[in-house]
Amino acid sequence: MEQLSRTARFWQWWAAFSLRRPLLVTLLGILAFVASVPFAARLYGDLRTDLRELLPQGAPAAVALAELEKRIGGLSHLAIVVRTDDLRAGERFVDALAAKLKELPPSLVAQVHYRVDAEKEFLDRHGALYADLKDLIAARDALRSEIAKANPLLIDLAEESDPRPQPSISRRWSAASRPPTRSSTGSRTATSPERTDTRW
């Protein structure tokens, strides 16, 4: 017969004891649980999951994170996506929800961003700064072509031999000044006529 190890003999004895005294084993489990509750509450009550807790106090990265938190009001954010079939109803809901969130104390919610009017106005004015190089080159060439066409003394033989219509300068400039399409928190984006995603 194979000799059992000490650990195996202990678990064999414990299984037999549990079958003989099930109520006593249950009572021992309840007592162990009650005794561990205060220690578990102390552990999870002071549980710190912030990135700064992993850094030594006074480290340059920890100091930089503290300064950044003072400037922007916090390092945590919560994004809420509202999916609706009615764009207008979704916008009204987002406006009402933002008003309720702004009433919360600053210790819970430091800032609420749900509109991108300022960002959209900036991109409308300076969208060409974010355009692709090929679009800017196309807009420049179209502008030169329009200037050349305005000169009555200039005859472009190559244009006469190529009957294909060329995009107008306004269309090329619109393509160049249009910023890249990106999903941004705070924008309302219609993905299809049937469904609308309102992000804020």
Q: In the prediction, which pLDDT does 172 show? A: 58
59-63: Cβ within 8 A, 24+ apart: none
Q: In the prediction, which pLDDT does 26 show? A: 93
- Paired with 84 in beta bridges are 196
* Residue 54 placed within a domain: no
The pLDDT of 84-101, averaged and rounded, is: 91
Structurally, how many domains does the chain consist of?
3
- Same domain? For 150 and 171 the reply is yes
- Domain hosting 145: range is 132-177
Q: How many Cα atoms sit within 13 Å of 197 on the Cβ side?
A: 12
* Residue 106 placed within a domain: yes
Q: For 134-169, how does the pLDDT look when each residue is reduced to its tens digit (9 = 90+)?
A: 888 888 888 888 888 777 666 655 555 555 555 555
Examine the pLDDT at 179 and tell me if it is beyond 80: no
Q: In the prediction, which pLDDT does 35 show? A: 93
* Residue 51 placed within a domain: no
* Residue 157 placed within a domain: yes
* Residue 65 placed within a domain: no
* Residue 34 placed within a domain: yes
- Same domain? For 85 and 120 the reply is yes
- Same domain? For 25 and 112 the reply is no
Burial of 196 (0-12, 13-18, 19+ CB in 10 A): buried
Count CB-CB contacts under 10 A for residue 145: 17
Q: In the prediction, which pLDDT does 174 show? A: 64
* Residue 32 placed within a domain: yes
Q: In the prediction, which pLDDT does 8 show? A: 87
* Residue 35 placed within a domain: yes
Percent of the chain with pLDDT over 70: 70
Examine the pLDDT at 178 and tell me if it is beyond 70: no
- Same domain? For 106 and 199 the reply is yes
Examine the pLDDT at 59 and tell me if it is beyond 50: yes
- Same domain? For 139 and 120 the reply is no
